[in-house]
Structure 1
Amino acid sequence: MDAELRTRFDAGMRTLLVPDPYGHGSVPIGPDEDRREATVSGVVIRYYVSRGVETVTVVRVVYV
């Protein structure tokens, strides 16, 4: 990921996904609401939400 995309991605994560990991167009993957997929700044990510500790863990990043 080049520096410009990384800057946009980091900003998108901070301002969109982290404050509301269940919103902003994210969708659950399968029956588990905490396992999700979203597009942030043009980058498709799959992630888990840990409600008890307010943590979002990205497990897959796909960009072109």
Structure 2
Amino acid sequence: MDPSLRARFDAGMRTSLAPDPYGQGSAPMGSDEDRREATVAGVVIRYYVSRSVLTVTVVRVVFL
């Protein structure tokens, strides 16, 4: 990921997804509300939300 995209992605994660991991146009993957998919700064990510410790773990990043 080039530095400018990485900067936009990091900012998007920090300002949009991290405060509201269930919103921001994200969608559940299957029947588990905590397994999500979203697009941040044009980058598709799949992630898992851990409610008990307020953690978002990105498990896959796809960018072109």
- TM class by shorter-chain length? over 0.9
User: Structure 2 counterpart of 1:48, which letter?
Assistant: Y
Tell me how far apart the structure 1 counterparts of residues 21 and 51 of structure 2 sit (CA, whole Å).
10
Partner of residue 38, structure 1: 38
TM-score by length of 1: 1.00
Residue ranges of structure 1 left out of the alignment (5+ in a row): none
TM-align CA RMSD: 0.2
Partner of 1:2: 2
> In the alignment, residue 30 of structure 1 is paired with which amino acid?
G
CA distance in 2, matches of 1:8, 1:25: 17
Q: How does 1:1-64 map to 2 (within 5 A)?
A: 1-64=1-64
Measure, in 2, the Cα distance between the counterparts of 1:28 and 1:63. Answer: 20
User: Percent of aligned pairs with the same residue?
Assistant: 78
> Unaligned 5+ residue runs, structure 2?
none
Deviation >6 Å, runs of 4+: none
